[in-house]
């Protein structure tokens, strides 16, 4: 057996572990399945495309942290390219 070490954001790792647990497997099994599927199809086993990252769970968590900071009087946040409009389409002030 070989071992692979991967660096990944802690929130992403936690979300993945929860998902894989619900599917009845651990991270190692999920990664092994991914690699086998990639080898079977001689490429990535899913389409690679650009989706709207604004609504990704990771960005939504970031926006919640910024909102919490703002609500608690810590207004020194740095906007990024995904922040511009709320989910309802109203411009953020």
Q: What is residue 91's predicted lDDT score, i.e. its pLDDT?
A: 43
pLDDT band at 90 (very low <50, low <70, confident <90, very high): very low
Q: Per residue in 16-40, pLDDT tens?
A: 999 999 999 999 999 999 999 999 9
Q: Considering only the top CATH level, what class is 1-49?
A: mainly alpha
Q: What is residue 31's predicted lDDT score, i.e. its pLDDT?
A: 96
Greatest C-alpha distance within the chain:
54
Structure tokens at 5: 């070490």
**What are the boundaries of each domain within the chain?**
1-49, 50-93
Task: Give CA–CA dist 80/72, Å, rounded.
Answer: 20
Beta bridge partners of 85: 91
Asked whether the whole model's pTM tops 0.95, one would answer no
Are 45 and 37 in contact by the 8 Å Cβ rule? The answer is yes
Q: What is residue 78's predicted lDDT score, i.e. its pLDDT?
A: 63
The answer to whether residue 82 scores a pLDDT higher than 50 is: yes
Task: Give CA–CA dist 91/85, Å, rounded.
Answer: 5
Contact residues for 33 (Cβ-Cβ < 8 A; gap 6+): 25
The pLDDT mean for the chain works out to 82
pLDDT band at 88 (very low <50, low <70, confident <90, very high): very low
């Amino acid at each position: 057996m070989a071992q692979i070490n991967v660096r990944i954001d802690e929130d992403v790792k936690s979300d993945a572990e929860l998902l894989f647990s619900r599917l009845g497997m651990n991270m190692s099994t999920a990664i092994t399945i991914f690699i086998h599927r990639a080898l079977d199809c001689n490429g990535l086993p899913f389409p690679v495309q650009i989706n709207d990252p604004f609504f990704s769970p990771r960005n939504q968590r970031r926006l919640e942290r910024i909102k919490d900071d703002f609500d608690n009087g810590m207004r020194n946040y740095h906007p990024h390219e995904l922040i511009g409009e709320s989910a309802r389409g109203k411009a953020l002030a």
